[in-house]
Structure 1
Amino acid sequence: MPQKPATKRLTLDTDEPSLLFAINDLLSTGGIDFDEWWDEFSKPPASKTGKEIEIWTKPKFIDTTPKNKSGVGRWIKYFPNKEDESTFYNLSGTDRDLVHHINAIGYQQSGSTENVPGKNSKPPLKGFPLIELRFVSPDKKVGIKWIRCAGYTDDEKIASLKLAKLITPADIKMWTSKIKTIFGDTKYVWKKGKECLSYSGQIARLQGLEGYAYVRNKQDGIDLFTSLLKIFDAVPDKDGFNRSESTSTTKYTKQTKEITVVGQKVTPDERRPVVDCEFDRAILKLPLLNKPIPLVKRNVILYK
């Protein structure tokens, strides 16, 4: 039976610091340079016809690693589609771990019978007409929510191909009336808070509504998304909601201390303030029209 070696700490001579750096780098990266890998991963695919590039969606990530973090690896927020900030993943680990996680997300999303890449499998919302609703707090801060008029278009060519219904003044009047009833007549209040409720998924996209809202609790967020969908006589997918809340007790507290910015004293705005925002107005934005169409102001119909 071999003898147990005497306990001894590994030490390096003063002329061998590079070995420590090499070991630390290997532990932190797992032998992969994530930034170098990302440069290649985030490039559009090569194509002879150009069709692949047309449907390609560019990913992005935000490094969220705390500056004072000690230990191996880093944290990132990964967005499979940089245009869709409601769908993201919080990832952590070595560079090798991050690459593995991102590839796993791609494999998971692409697991359809048609073998369509996951980040291209959701119907695009960009290009559909957009209804914008504005909510105002007592201190005149504005909160905005959007919902797409999914299935509608202002482009006659698209309508002629029966890819969507051509918007008519009658449609706009109907939506305007519903907005007045749902939001204006009730003096609807968006109860903003520190929690984040997202509504996403295939059904949410087909309904023209995929996004998130800062609210005080889950039910307040569900009520907000439900009210938005009522404009189109739709109901939310109960499985499409996800709630998140920061574990920090100080991250979103109200700032009272002044800081100096380019020589001037300022008090930073509060992040995720707890405030009531009352419905103020709604407008319609059409892709082919250069200016928005006013629909409702408070409980007064503007579109005639």
Structure 2
Amino acid sequence: MPQKPADKRLTLDADEPSLLFAVNDLLLTGGIDFDDWWKEFSKPPTSKAGKAIEEWTKPKFIDVTPVGKSNIGRWIKYFPDKEDDSTFYNLSGTTRDLIYHINAIAYQQGNSAGNVSGKNSKPPLKGFPLIELQFVSPDKKVGEKWIRCAGYTDDEKIASLKLAKLVTPADIRVWANKIKTIFGDTQYVWEKGKECLSYSGQIARLQGLEGYAYVRNKQDGVDLFTALLKIFDAVPDKDGFNRSESTSTTKYKKQTKEIIVAGQKVMPDERRPIANCEFTRAVLKLPLLNKPIPLVKKNVILYK
């Protein structure tokens, strides 16, 4: 039997340091480039027909790996929704570890949002027709708000089972007229701000509306959700509102200095900017139709 060397440490000849680096890199990455994987993961998913899935939210991550510690893994803050800074996960480990954790979070959230089972479960919204309203700020940035046409369907089979009412041209004309009156004729302005007001709960989902909006104050948010529900002659549940704001005085402060990114000077985008976003148009999206139906542009009805 060969004798074990007195020094049990792995050593390499002077001309073989690259082998040690390669082994270390393989252990850390599992042969996967995290940045390449992230580019694919963070793209909006599409259907078999190549159509983007409308309810997708863009994720983001921030690398917080301590200086000098990259050789033992990576630390990141993972945000499932880049617009919601209040929900994040502190993750660390090798590339394979990070990918596993991110996929596990996505799987868990997908199940909790998509499956409906048990007592008092929330009714699903996906599959109902959707009205999308667009608002434009002075710097031409577009904001969107969605509301589902709860209780309606474009699927004749579902309608024949009396599970929902089949959408008709008459229904679409009624919705277009409502939008013109509520948003177009009044030149409705969504006053975006740094506070976050959410509207959620059983009643909100039954009404086809559950989400959040960045606003100046609570009343502005209540007015926005109230206007959306007026399209279907509904009123919001007063117990469905929840308001939140950051305690930091600098977190959402407008950037006034350029920063250096990859050797180039850039001005960071403002997070939760204060802006008056004017209503500009509305469209109807039907699950079985490949393109949206124009409803209203400002105060002009497009659907005839």
Give the TM-score, by structure 2 length.
0.63
**3-state SS in 2 of match to 1:198:** strand
> Residues 222 and 77 (structure 1 numbering): CA distance in 2 closer, same or farther, change over 3 Å?
farther
Deviation, 1:89, is 7.2
* CA deviation vs aligned residue, 1:189-236 (integer Å, no higher than 9, x gap): 000000000000000000000000000000000000000000000000
> Residues 64 and 210 (structure 1 numbering): CA distance in 2 closer, same or farther, change over 3 Å?
farther
Task: Tell me the residue number matched to 1:27.
Answer: none
* CA deviation vs aligned residue, 1:7-66 (integer Å, no higher than 9, x gap): xxxxxxxxxxxxxxxxxxxxxxxxxxxxxxxxxxxxxxxxxxxxxxxxxxxxxx999998
* CA deviation vs aligned residue, 1:225-265 (integer Å, no higher than 9, x gap): 00000000000000000000000100101111112223322
Task: Tell me the residue number matched to 1:215.
Answer: 215
Deviation, 1:169, is 0.2
Task: Tell me the residue number matched to 2:124.
Answer: 124
Q: Percent identity?
A: 78
Deviation, 1:67, is 7.7
* CA deviation vs aligned residue, 1:279-304 (integer Å, no higher than 9, x gap): 00000000000000000000000000
- In 2, the alpha carbon distance for the partners of 1:130 and 1:234 equals 16
The one-letter code of the counterpart of 1:173 is R
- In 1, the alpha carbon distance for the partners of 2:63 and 2:224 equals 32
Aligned residues: 213
- In 2, the alpha carbon distance for the partners of 1:238 and 1:295 equals 29
> Residues 89 and 203 (structure 1 numbering): CA distance in 2 closer, same or farther, change over 3 Å?
farther
- In 1, the alpha carbon distance for the partners of 2:60 and 2:257 equals 28
* CA deviation vs aligned residue, 1:157-204 (integer Å, no higher than 9, x gap): 110111100000000000000000000000000000000000000000
- In 1, the alpha carbon distance for the partners of 2:143 and 2:200 equals 20
> Residues 258 and 217 (structure 1 numbering): CA distance in 2 closer, same or farther, change over 3 Å?
same
Deviation, 1:91, is 9.6
**3-state SS in 2 of match to 1:253:** coil
* CA deviation vs aligned residue, 1:131-165 (integer Å, no higher than 9, x gap): 00000011101110000000000000110111100
* CA deviation vs aligned residue, 1:104-157 (integer Å, no higher than 9, x gap): xxxxx9xxxxx8177xx1111111100000000111011100000000000001
> Residues 62 and 261 (structure 1 numbering): CA distance in 2 closer, same or farther, change over 3 Å?
closer
1:100-115 pair list within 5 angstroms: none
The one-letter code of the counterpart of 2:147 is I
Asked if 1:275 corresponds to 2:260, the answer is no
> Residues 117 and 263 (structure 1 numbering): CA distance in 2 closer, same or farther, change over 3 Å?
farther
Task: Tell me the residue number matched to 2:262.
Answer: 262
The one-letter code of the counterpart of 1:263 is G
**3-state SS in 2 of match to 1:254:** coil
Task: Tell me the residue number matched to 1:227.
Answer: 227
> Residues 205 and 277 (structure 1 numbering): CA distance in 2 closer, same or farther, change over 3 Å?
same
Task: Tell me the residue number matched to 1:103.
Answer: none
**3-state SS in 2 of match to 1:144:** strand
**3-state SS in 2 of match to 1:132:** strand
Asked if 1:145 corresponds to 2:150, the answer is no
> Residues 77 and 235 (structure 1 numbering): CA distance in 2 closer, same or farther, change over 3 Å?
farther
Task: Tell me the residue number matched to 1:168.
Answer: 168
Task: Tell me the residue number matched to 1:248.
Answer: 248
- In 1, the alpha carbon distance for the partners of 2:230 and 2:278 equals 18
1:1-304 pair list within 5 angstroms: 116=118, 121-304=121-304
- In 2, the alpha carbon distance for the partners of 1:78 and 1:257 equals 25
Instruction: Give structure 1 stretches of 5+ with no counterpart.
Output: 1-60, 69-75, 93-108, 110-114
- In 1, the alpha carbon distance for the partners of 2:64 and 2:230 equals 41
Deviation, 1:78, is 10
- In 2, the alpha carbon distance for the partners of 1:222 and 1:66 equals 37
Q: Which moved more, 1:294-303 or 1:254-263?
A: 254-263
The one-letter code of the counterpart of 2:189 is V
- In 2, the alpha carbon distance for the partners of 1:238 and 1:139 equals 34
Task: Tell me the residue number matched to 1:35.
Answer: none
Moved over 3 A (4+): 61-68, 76-79, 88-92
